[in-house]
Amino acid sequence: MKTPLNKKSTTSDIEKRFNNDVERFSNIDTGQVTTIDASLSMELITEAAISTTPVILKVLDIGCGAGNNTIKLLRTYGTGFDCDLIDLSMPMLERAKERVSQETHGEINTFHGDFRTADLTDESYDVIIAAAVLHHLREYQDWKEVFRKIFRLLKPGGSFWVTDLVSHEDVSIQKLMWNRYGNYLKSKGGDDYMEKVFDYIDQEDSPRSVTFQLDLMRESGFESVDVLHKNSCFSAFGGIKGK
C-alpha cells in the first residue's frame, strides 16, 4: 500500500464508485471475481451464523451492497427474519431492498450512509454481517469504535461474521500473499486487470490483519472468536457475544 491513510479515498469517493457497480454485485452465484473464494466464504459465514445463533429474528448487514450475503443467509436459514441494511450507495441499497424483499416477509429497513454514524439500537440484532466493508476503515480509533459498536448492537448470544480483504503482520508474509493474489488476478484478466485492481485497492482500501481484528473483537467483549477460512489476502472469521 503506497497511498498514506490521509490520502485515501473519502467515503464520498467510495460511494460514487459503488453507485456505478450495482450489477456486478447483484449475482449471488458467481460472487466477486476480485475476491478469492468469495462463494466459499459467503457459505461459511452463513453456516457459522446459523450454527452459533440458532434463533435468528433480526439481522444487520453492514455495507450490504446488493444484498447477496443477507439473501444467502435467508435462503439457508429457511425462515424469514427482519433485516436492517446499511450502505453508502443508494442504488445499492435500493437493489438490496428489492432483492431481499423477495426472500422474506420480515421487516426491511435501509440506512443510507456510514455505519459509524447510523442510529441503531443496542442489543437488537441476532446476527451482524460485514462483507468486504471493514477494509475501508482507516485509523486505529476507527476500528476500535466500530468493533465496540458492533458488540453493543448484538443481543446476548448473538454473532458477528466477516469476509474481507486482510493484510499481514510480517512484511515477508505480506509480500508472499500479495504476490499470490496478483497471480490469481492475472489468471482472471491478465496483467492489466491485476494492475487495475491493485490501483484501486491502494487508493481506496486500508485492510488490517486477521490477528489484529480478532484481538480487537476480544478487547470489545466477544466471548469467543474463530477463523473459518483464509486464502492469500482474504479471510472469513467472526465472534460470538456471551449470553
DSSP alpha helix (H) spans, the chain: 11-19, 38-52, 68-77, 90-100, 140-153, 171-204, 210-220
What is the per-residue pLDDT for 26? 57
Cell triple for residue 59? 439481522
Half-sphere exposure of 61 (CA within 13 A, CB side): 30
What is the per-residue pLDDT for 153? 98
Tell me, what DSSP letter sits at residue 176?
H
Q: Report mean pLDDT in 10-residue bins for the chain, 243 residues.
A: 81 72 61 86 97 97 95 96 96 94 96 96 98 95 97 98 97 97 95 94 95 98 98 98 95
**5-240 classified as CATH 3.40.50.720:** no
Q: Quickly tell me which residue has 441494511 as its cell.
A: 85
Domain ranges of the chain: 5-240
Task: Report how far residue 60's alpha carbon sits from residue 129's, in angstroms, rounded to the nearest whole number.
Answer: 6
What is the per-residue pLDDT for 28? 64
pTM of the model: 0.94
Classified as helix, coil or strand, 37 is coil
What is the per-residue pLDDT for 31? 58
